[in-house]
Amino acid sequence: MGDAHRSPETQARQRFVDALPIAEAWVRAGGEFITPVVGSQLDEDVELENWRAWHLAHFSLSSGTHHLLAAVRYLLEFGPAALPIHSLMRTALWGGAQGLWVLHPVEPGERAARAAQVLGYSVTNHRKWLDTFSDVDPEGSEARAALRARLVGLSQELGSQGPNQHQVVRWAGEHVFGDQPGAVAEVEQGWRELGAVAHAVPWELSRRPGQVVAGDERVSVRAVRGSSAELEGVLSHVLGILEAGWGVFEERASTAAVDPT
């Protein structure tokens, strides 16, 4: 049966079926942890506290890919539930966007500057975690104090703000879908809608049609359902951004650095 004879929901579910082997292949490839060729562009990345820009980008892309795979498997197994898939797809979108954003600059110094934002945010949250749970391991207090001092120093060196997520996602949408103005707007719109569900605030669900299933004159309970069709656009955006990110990674990991002279 051709697509013309299928319902939009059936067609959209097929997109998820088609995405499954793609996500699985990316997970396998990412698990092999491609090491940049000596002399390649990524081989020039400077080290930041045992991390390089490409380490952080690889982690971001891998996180995005694993969350995409989890979302696709969940939908195919249990259907398009309105809550968990949105959270998984949001992390998939962010992992792809951040990884692509870190990797994109040709100049190693600019890659390092972007990586420093990611690492600084990570270090600051690690320090906050230590402060919150300082009494968990009293026997390790000396080592913990030394680690905290090092993290404080790194936070001061790297900064603690982290990348602006909305701006990075918008940039990724423009970079990948720049010739499709409608798609660029949809990437940012989808990011904000996914975030509402991921942070357990109900405004996005209130936009959906639903059916009253219980209640009285004072209050009613309305059932809201998700659909594969509404998630198809998000799937397309996530696939496009992750594909671009992995593509840049492979290219920069194997292509010789350009001599600035």
In contact, 40 and 253? CB cutoff 8 Å: yes
Inter-residue contact 101 to 69 (CB < 8 Å):
no
Residue 159 or residue 194, greater confidence: 194
* Range in 41-55, 60-74, 76-90, 200-214 with the lowest mean pLDDT: 200-214
- The whole-model pTM stands at 0.86
**Residue 248 pLDDT grade (very low, low, confident, very high; cuts 50, 70, 90):** very high
Q: What is the pLDDT of residues 19-44, one digit of tens each?
A: 999 999 999 987 776 688 889 999 98
Among 25-29, 217-221, 224-228, the range with the most confident prediction by mean pLDDT is 25-29
Q: How far is CA 236 from CA 151, 158, 231, 252, in A?
A: 39, 34, 9, 24
- If you average pLDDT over each of 24-28, 120-124, 143-147, which comes out highest? 24-28
Whether residue 260 has pLDDT greater than 70 = no
Buried b / exposed e across 53-92, counting CB within 10 Å, b at 16+? bbbbbbbbbbbbbbbbbbbbebbeeeebebebbbbbbbbb
Lowest mean pLDDT among 59-68, 131-140, 197-206: 131-140
Residue 215 pLDDT > 80, yes or no? no
Task: Identify the bridge partners of residue 256 per DSSP, sorted by sequence position.
Answer: 40
Average pLDDT of the chain is 85
